[in-house]
Chain A
Amino acid sequence: MTKTLNPSGDTILKVEDLRTYFPTRTGVFKAVDGVSFELQRGKTLCVVGESGSGKSVTARSILQIVDKPGQIEGGSILLTRADGSKTDLARLDPRGRDIRGIRGKEIAMIFQEPMSSLSPVHRIGTQIGETLRIHFGIRGNEQRARVLELLKQVEIPRPETAIDRYTFEFSGGMRQRVMIAMALACNPSVLIADEPTTALDVTTQAEILDLIKKLQQSHGMAVLFITHDMGVVAEIADEVLVMYRGKVMEKGPVDQIFHAPQDDYTRRLIGSVVKLEKKAEVRVRRAEMPTETPPLLEVKNLSLTFASGLKAVDDVSLAVRPGETLGIVGESGSGKTTMGRCLLRIYDPQSGTIDYRRTDGRTLDIRTADNATLKDIRREVRMIFQDPVGSLSPRKTVGQIIAEPLKLAGMKGSERDDRVAHLMRQVGLEPAWRERYPHAFSGGQRQRIGIARAIAVNPRLIVADEATSALDVSLRSQMLDLMMQLQDEMGLSYVFISHDMSVIRYMCDRVAVMYRGRIVEAGETDRVVNDPSHDYTRALLSAIPHPDPRSRRIHNRFRYEPAVKRAQFQPMDKS
């Protein structure tokens, strides 16, 4: 597998004035509009941008795998081989033999979702071997030996048994390793990675980033890395290309992008990332919370075991004080969403208590409450959902959606209409938009609608389940600021569930770290972030990419090895 390493720095791929358009009913959508960049051997170019900025289409254009009806309208993609020969990929027939010979062999690609990029019906050895067979005609034992070698390179444990396993038997991180092994099979000179770590947990992400870096160095590949996460960019990039609406906003060395951005958009993007790196201004300024007030919600020894035998919530105890935000942080499968849903009795926990303090000072156990009481409590304890698309009925107007809890609470006529208009203004939406349907709104606006619905009946506690995860980073802080503003106006308490430490740090007063259904550590956010006491918390914190290229840290991060060996075949998380 060794290759003569050319000195790094010579250009392998040169893209000039690339234009990829999608003809639509109403006109031409310019997904990629005049993008130019160069990829150099042994270097990593990060393409960064928010969703819809055209970064994925750029990558797909290079391999001519743009989805229909999009097509390359102009520009050139010049591939220079080691022997000096050159090919313009933009001129090749997308179905022709020439481009197929380049795909996988000279330019390989890995995708965001390792589950859907791998075939579920073939053993992984066969899938990796297929590339070898197509491009080099390697078969039989020789093929198997090569595949084993590749699996070793991507650090899959016990490659001899793993080679005969199926995709579903692997966890997300392991699947992405298989994808990388496939990409490396033919020793490509360029690796295109399209959001390869977005679907992964932060600790797994750190490992995959490590692996890509290591392989890049040993193979001398040029890497084109597409991501929306500025932290990842800061950790791995040599050069950065910032895209917005199909155009290149700024291009330059990573240090310049982060520390001396020239372009307005880049500056704003970096600004919104840096803003989430510390506690929110409004929270720093706020007076100390009284600590001796009786808790609004007190959960004790809560446990929920699903019918499958999975202990999703295991002996969890926590308390929420009036007016505070309690963060629940954990990776996928840690049980944080399930725990949040138990608080509203969407799931019925088997044991423990959820003591909720009513306005009159009496406490009441939500876990054992009857249906009538539950209905009352659900007016005081509300929920904000993660998915801004799925949580709003597409068949109702925004006005109807927000009015629904009011209607069910018995509010009628013009009073209700006024209240809806007031709520819409409160969350930053035009009341005139009430006749519109959710499909007319963007992700951030839909999440605002969800918030308006949650606060409609003047609740006291809101369980926000990954309320900002589906949003672009520039919108995240806006949404968090809105939630904090509402908290101060209405005296709300939040249980804020997230996998993202930065939003927790930005907004939460206290945080509980969940790991496999248990709370491993809880305390003041500042204390937990700066001086974690549990090893898992330490590992989690050190795996978070830091948006500053001058202090790269995930490569020498803290690794957590729990006493119970982490199961290799963990199920995918839905959230």
Chain B
Amino acid sequence: MTDITHLPPDTGPSFDLAGKDIAAAGQWRLFWLKFKKHKIALVSLVVIIFMYLVAAFADFIAPFDPNATNARFTYAPPQGLSLMHEGAFRPHVDQLRMTLNTESMRREFTPDPARPVPVGFFVKAPQPYHLLGFIPMETKLFGMIDPKPGDSMYIFGADRLGRDIFSRVVHGAKISLSIGLVGVFMSLILGVTIGGVSGFFGGWVDLAIQRVIELLRSIPTIPLWMGLAAAIPVGWPPLRTYFVITLIVSLIGWTSLAREVRGKFLSLRSEDFVIAARLDGMSEIGIIFNHLVPSFMSHIIATLTLAIPSMILAETALSFLGIGLQPPIISWGVLLQEAQNIRAVAQAPWLLFTPAAAIVISVLALNFLGDGLRDAADPYEDVS
């Protein structure tokens, strides 16, 4: 039937209005133009980039070795940073004076404004280290200038062994943020392959795969993870455990992606331009890689971004339950696990809030980013 698509009149091509650059703008340009309109997503993108940079340069940014203990400062509270001292610009923290409360049998720390500990940028590291594992460095981004015994700088407090929480959270980002990426990467491979097979072959293959997906999705996730995590031998090296944990958390993640890919496959196969390509003599494989994959690539990126936070949360949940990563590996989940008891929460709430804040910020930012990407995923709705 006559179909009134509201197209611009033919008297003048529409790109006269839209500007010449739009006319020759490809998929990714349009994607970016549309994404830019989503302000929260744009801010989130900056936050995410910042967090991954922190994770990548954790050794440089964390002022201390995350495993360095200090018996003197167990459960030391966060030390406030002050910029001025005696009318002059001198960034410092106040030295902590420890007293033992004999009534409650607890150590109590009080800052002593008379004894400032000067801090500054690009200070000498306590020990030499290798940035990114291969660049030898002896400088930290910031830290105490010329520390003397009894000086300390715990921006977010210390834990039960006197380890610096800030350094530990920064180092935890390495594992926690990358486990999301690696897990999502594995989901991507599994999801695109299995979903593609399902959508491409159809028939009983499709039926079987879809039922398996339904089965997997029907299993309660936490018991499933617990069962699988319990099977990891305790004696395994940390790196191997890490790898297996990512495998476990991505086990569920691929199912939704596979469905997405399959759905896209099915809907795109009947599009006119795909039929046109077939009539042009293009092979099925050619159609998949020339037409289908570019069409759903942007959707997949959006889905993946939305999958990362669930991976991060899954790792956190597992580690919190004590069946995921184990100390000495540092992840945000491991850090939270140490804040499990009521004593820690009551006496040293920074053990709970610092890693929790890191998790909340990164998960929120990734979700907003994913929302923005999803909205931009089909840039042709508005333009055409």
Contact = CB atoms under 8 A, between A and B. Distances in A.
Given A344-B279, A382-B279, A442-B14, A391 B273 contact: yes
Interface in A442-480: 442-445, 453, 469-470, 472, 474-475, 478
B280 A405 contact: yes
Interface in A471-507: 472, 474-475, 478, 499-500
A418 to B, nearest CB: 19
B9 interface: yes
B48 to A, nearest CB: 26
A446 to B, nearest CB: 8
A439 B384 contact: yes
A440 B13 contact: yes
B84 interface: no
A356 to B, nearest CB: 15
B86 interface: no
B9 A346 contact: no
B276 A385 contact: yes
Chain B CB count within 10 A is highest, among A228, A346, A443, for A443
Nearest to B277: A404
Interface in B258-295: 271-273, 275-282, 291, 294-295
Interface residues of A, number: 61
A232 B99 CA distance: 95
A52 B7 contact: yes
B208 interface: no
B17 to A, nearest CB: 7
A216 to B, nearest CB: 24
Nearest to A375: B281
A228 B25 contact: no
Interface residues of B, number: 39
A394 B7 contact: no
B53 to A, nearest CB: 32
A573 B13 contact: no
Interface string B1-42: 111111111100111011000111111001000000000000
Nearest to A374: B281
A52 B7 CA distance: 7
A389 B275 contact: no
A393 interface: yes
Nearest to B273: A393
Contacts of B9: 50-53, 245, 442, 472
A390 interface: yes
The DSSP consensus for interface residues of chain A is: loop
A443 B15 contact: no
B13 A438 contact: no
Contact of A404 (B5, B10, B282, B383): B282
A506 B32 CA distance: 46
Nearest to B380: A394
A397 B24 CA distance: 8
A195 B272 contact: no
Nearest to B28: A395
Nearest to B275: A346
Contacts of A500: 2
A350 interface: no
Contacts of A475: 10
A236 interface: no
B3 A436 contact: no
Interface of A: 26, 50-53, 112, 195, 198-201, 228-229, 245, 332, 344, 346, 375, 378-379, 382-383, 385-395, 397, 404-405, 408-409, 433, 435-445, 453, 469-470, 472, 474-475, 478, 499-500, 573, 575
For the complex of A and B, the 8 pairs showing the least CB-CB separation, nearest first, are A440-B23, A443-B7, A391-B272, A444-B10, A440-B15, A405-B280, A439-B383, A393-B273
23 contacts: A51-B7, A52-B7, A201-B1, A228-B4, A346-B275, A346-B279, A378-B279, A385-B275, A385-B276, A387-B272, A390-B271, A390-B272, A393-B291, A395-B294, A397-B26, A433-B23, A439-B380, A440-B14, A441-B14, A453-B276, A469-B1, A469-B3, A573-B1
